[in-house]
Structure 1
């Protein structure tokens, strides 16, 4: 496999990993007000593919922190004291994670495009 193919494969795998991360961040944001919802996170891991180390998304992990206690005696999930457990999603953390994932995605997309352009330029030079 050529160096161009290696760089394209690395970029492609990183794009997939960041895409999975963005998907779970968006799930966390959309479920921030869901009672009992636990924040999901996606760790990245390095694996060997075709003799090359690449990054991929690992197994989804649930945040073990307890959600906030919300006082609403009329809520169907309220206990005897009138409290129920909200989600443990912090929107500021999710927004920061989304921005980081988006910027990483854009950087990998740019690397993919540059590798593709270099490969095309090399082919043009070889044709002449």
Structure 2
């Protein structure tokens, strides 16, 4: 039972780590500016799914945010077009911070499951020796 718990929690750890990586990348690029004739930075969103025929949760893919982004008037920016506009990503920092907290808590919960399952497994081994 403990080995199953460790394996399942391990898939959760991997999923949440990838989610944390995506959110960190989105937050780091929230102010990335591109010319209006280019694509805006596209936020990454992790798509999770239940394991097919196995237990656990897995990353089934990545969804990307809008490449059109938001046009912002910033005539002093060296990347601004002739009318003074630049393209910024369509990323809501507040939403990303919420996602960061959820991913972090999920990671912590799965790490705690691994730790407790390991402790239970070690206790069972001690009983078997005793």
TM-score, normalised by the number of residues in structure 2: 0.87
- For structure 1, list consecutive stretches of 5 or more residues without a partner in the other structure: none
Which of 8, 12, 15 does residue 13 from structure 2 map onto? Answer: 15
Aligned counterparts of 1:76 and 1:52: Cα–Cα separation in 2: 52
CA contact (8 A) 2:47 2:59 kept: yes
Aligned counterparts of 1:124 and 1:52: Cα–Cα separation in 2: 30
Post-superposition offset of 1:79? 3.0
CA contact (8 A) 1:6 1:52 kept: no
Post-superposition offset of 1:67? 2.0
CA contact (8 A) 1:43 1:60 kept: yes
CA contact (8 A) 2:75 2:84 kept: yes
Post-superposition offset of 1:53? 2.0
Partner of 1:83: 85
Post-superposition offset of 1:65? 7.0
Post-superposition offset of 1:68? 2.1
Post-superposition offset of 1:116? 0.6
Partner of 1:110: 112
User: SS at 2:115's partner residue?
Assistant: helix
Post-superposition offset of 1:54? 1.6
Q: How does 1:46-61 map to 2 (within 5 A)?
A: 46-48=50-52, 52-61=54-63
Post-superposition offset of 1:75? 2.9
TM-score, normalised by the number of residues in structure 1: 0.88
Aligned counterparts of 1:98 and 1:6: Cα–Cα separation in 2: 27
Measured on the aligned residues, the alpha-carbon RMSD in Å equals 1.6
Q: How does 1:26-105 map to 2 (within 5 A)?
A: 26-35=24-33, 36-48=40-52, 52-64=54-66, 66-105=68-107
Post-superposition offset of 1:78? 2.6
Count residues with an aligned counterpart: 124
- For structure 2, list consecutive stretches of 5 or more residues without a partner in the other structure: 34-39
CA contact (8 A) 2:67 2:89 kept: no
